[in-house]
Structure 1
Amino acid sequence: MPITVFSQILQQADSLEDRYLKGDFPEEERIALLRELAYAGDVDKMLKYSNELIETAERLDSLDGLGDGYIYKGHALRLKSDLPEALKNYFEATRIGRQLNKVKRIARSEISIADVYSMMGNHQNAVRYYQSAIGLLRDIQDSIGFSSALENLGDEYLTVDMPDSALMFFDESGRVFRAMNYTEGLAYNLGNRGIAYAQLGRDQMAKDTINRAVTMMEIMQNYYPISVYLTYMSDIYLNQGNWTVAMNYAQRSLEIAQKHGLKDQLSGATLKISELYEQKGEYSKSLDFYKQHIAYRDSVNNIASVQEMANIRANFEIAQNKEMAEIRANFEIAQKQVEVDLLNQKRRVQQIIVIAVASALFLISLLALGLFRRNKFIQRTKRLIEKEKDRSDNLLLNILPEETAQELKESGRVKAKRFESVTVLFTDFKGFTYYSEDLTPEQLVKSVDFYFSKFDEIIEKYGLEKIKTIGDAYMCAGGLPFPSEDHALKVTQAAFEIAEFMEEMKQTKEEEIAHFEVRIGINTGPVVAGVVGTKKFAYDIWGDTVNIASRMESNSLPGHINISENTHQLVKDHFDCIFRGEIHVKNKGMMKMYFVNRKHNSNGKSNTEHIDEPSSVQNQG
């Protein structure tokens, strides 16, 4: 279990935020206050205030504050499981550390880089960066950083089943922790030692050591490692044949993960429970928990697709395991039968040749029948695999445009393409974070899935391309992957249907569905489109057009459709538009914006009007 050098400190986070929001501080303390806010609190607040710290440090030309901003943003992104973006920010923090010639900053950034590589399964890079950080920290005599890097390097060797190597590093880090009386480090050291002993088969030592670590972690209220260590205790008892105690530890791990919102360990605990039920032969319960494991493990950016992929993958893997087990069982039976018959044949050969020949023919028939049955099983397995392949292809078409999916299957990659005129739409639910705090996870998932599924139907109706969802934000575009001339009109029409649907839902009384108000923003211009990544492919678009569309949404009002000047030029002859004036947009300056109305004038021309916006709207950005 790796130690995070920059651990979250939750105490006083609320009072710090109140002070910052009230502005009750001198301007020269702004960077220091943002450091504290980006260093503490929940993940979303860490990300929010680290971004503000980066912007403020750039404005005030504070290179030191900028480096802190990047490393805290990396921590927030890592906790949100956005590992590629976390890595980018850690590398930027390292670059600034070298520019400032701050060895301690460089070393701790390298520890964070190594932690990310470890989470990505890149053992070689993780070891390389841990060793580099250890060398730097040893020279400057940073005891906590040095011992933490040693502990994390030892933990990395546990991930590749090298417990003897891991224990060498735990020995050295443990001596430093004891000399400093560093309680948190000692707790992690004990837990990691317990895992190493478990891998070496020293079960009693493992149980004693892990129990001591759990006791210390409970005093410190550090629940994530407790949940991890409990799953290892479950493994130990399972290896000893004590299924009941193993299940108790796994369920306790799951309860802690659920209570404290530990997303990573929810995945680990549900997987362990699934394995335990499989050992017991209770395949239905095993399948249920395995589906939960996959749902927690995968990204929740697109809830409907994730659930479908989890069900497909779980059903296929369980079915495949049962099919192979059936094949193995039948083969073993046939093999034993052949051995018995051969023995009887040898005895009969000594008595009479005719009987021996008859027995041989009988055995050949049995063997042919066994091969025939085995071949039938293989054919059934192949058909199952082909069926799942077809379902995977269909799922790929749900994620990528057909032309892009075909190019990806044929060449293994997709070339980026530039489109000169595309209309981009963003939606966002007003007050989503506030309302979601009062909802159960099940209600939240069901509500977002309900609304986004309806949005999918609407954009499919108008031949638009869904790009992605980010939390409660929904993004789509018209004019790609096949260029068209009326994409701005179709996107605007789709926006009206979305707004009308959200308004209708406010009148319903369905208790399981939360009610939100939606803001909509649209912009038109050139974009570059392509597929990013080598796993979990995502079709995405980039360019200033996308950024401005996002600003149109953030500067909109609930229930309104806010469009840019570019889009207005394309739809003004078809819709009434209300000119909002020039509104300041962050990083863009003053930009013209319009609200779009449904109705036309009798002459078919738009009635472009100007309205005075409230000052709070004009200054958004």
Structure 2
Amino acid sequence: MSLKRKAYFSIGFFCLAISLAMGQQDQILADSLIIQYQSGSYEESELDLLSKISEAETNPDRLLTFSNLLINKASKDSSFYFLHKGYLQKGNALKFRGDNAEALRSYFKSLNFANRNKYEIGIGSLMISIADTYSAMENSSNAQAYYSKGILLLRKANDSIKIATALLNAGDDYFNNGAIDSALNYTEEARIIFEKINYPIGQAYGMGNLGMIYAERGKDVLAERNINGAIAILEELEDYYPISVYLTYMSDIYFRKNDHDTAFGYAHRSLDLANTYDLKEQISEAHLKLSVLYEAIGDLVSSYEHYKKHIAYRDTLINIESVTQMADLRTNYEVSQKQIEVDLLDERRKNQRNIAIATAVALFLIGLLAIGLFRRNAFIRKTKAIIEKERDRSDHLLLNILPEETARELKEHGVVKAKKYDAVTVLFTDFKGFTSYSEKLSPEALVETVGFYFSKFDAIVEKHGLEKIKTIGDAYMCAGGLHGSEETHPQKMVLAATEIAQFVYDTKQDVKASDLNFDIRIGINTGPVVAGVVGTKKFAYDIWGDTVNVASRMESMSEPGKINISQSTYELIKSDFHCEYRGEIEAKNRGKVKMYFVNGIKKGLLTLV
């Protein structure tokens, strides 16, 4: 686990909270406009009223219904302006539901009509909406191209809030892709504009994001000043979630200064705030932060306790899926009822004799619907933010299962072709005596114990640019050299193995961690493999070949605390590590294979770390 907490989610979240995409939505206003529209009594044009409803509506399903209705009506009147508005709001609804590809199609249709109507503010805003969508899809090159075009047009229109928001979101995309200097320039300009027009929420997020950027660059004084400024504004606005996130950054800053007491104080303050306002995701993150801090000072028992609480709260959030399904079922029913009412209104215009009766029925139904909406409004507002985050998270779920290149191929083509790699380094680990130990534990304690070790293994593997393949019981498997990675993967794999062995040894020596008393065997082999995705349901990424089998044999023939490598790996790393020849073994399909113990690192290899 790394001490430095990634800021990508935090900046992205805070930017979206004031993005251009969803406009000035207000559900109370939307409900009143819907009642007015369904009554059939309004002074303005039908297109104007439908456009206002679409701009105010917050429910993505109802927004999709009314934006489609606006598009249909505007198509009959050949109104480019309202077609632009209709497709814009349809794109917003689709993006809000997580359907980014369809959202882009609607945005581009809206852009076409805005261009035909020569509506420059609309064109500029659409450029930013398109850029935000590409950024969410992790297509940074397209995102930055549209950010540049949109910001240029918005500067001409002189709309300060839209300009500053666009700059903040562009800075977020630069930050997520490691362009720190560009991120700093865009975010600082956004903060200055928000400060000039006295827009507090924009000032807070601008300062907070600047603080996180400075923290990533190691400029702790500037980071602390900006984050404290953001926290002060957010406390006045009673916006507590970002405060909890920013406090963890303050913890990182003071830990780097070796002021451990203050660092722990900020981390505990973040946890207390999250507990007070029942911010379950941040409660989980605060426990993870404390686990990392305790691990860094060598208190593995406290680290282990906070890690268990992090897992418990993280698992609680998974149950949000059932809440989402219930809310979607109720929303679909209400949307269908409103569509029926719209159809009835069309019939009333054709048959004047039934106006009075139909109006009374409609008002009765609207009254019942209003009561239902009022009762569930508090529930929806409370869970809305959680549901939005869960939908965003689903877009990234595939990346937690498959390597990035494989996940992209699966999304684009629906299938993944198997590939052969000529040189891949494969590592296996296994805990000595784990089977007998596990028989004495409850299932919960067993999972927590394995998770404690494997979480650290994951961090080490990621640090060295390697690829975790899978775990089977207490066995852990990873590989290097897949997907065009560097030729130094054998050296990196041995370095990773060295760190894994040291971590297991240090944990065993900690007298307070008596229940984590294990030895580990490690085996490594290098050679050709075939890689691909297995199955069509619950699929998994895996590798096959004699290379994998020999690596497994190297592990089984190793000794506790030792790293056992094959002849092929030895030839690639012998100039960088001290190795000891230990004889030959018989390997299936390979004949006799020589084995070596890795006993240490030679000078000059630290540049790979």
Give the TM-score of the pair, scaled to structure 1.
0.46
Higher RCO (CA-CA < 8 Å; seq separation 6+): 2
Give the TM-score of the pair, scaled to structure 2.
0.47
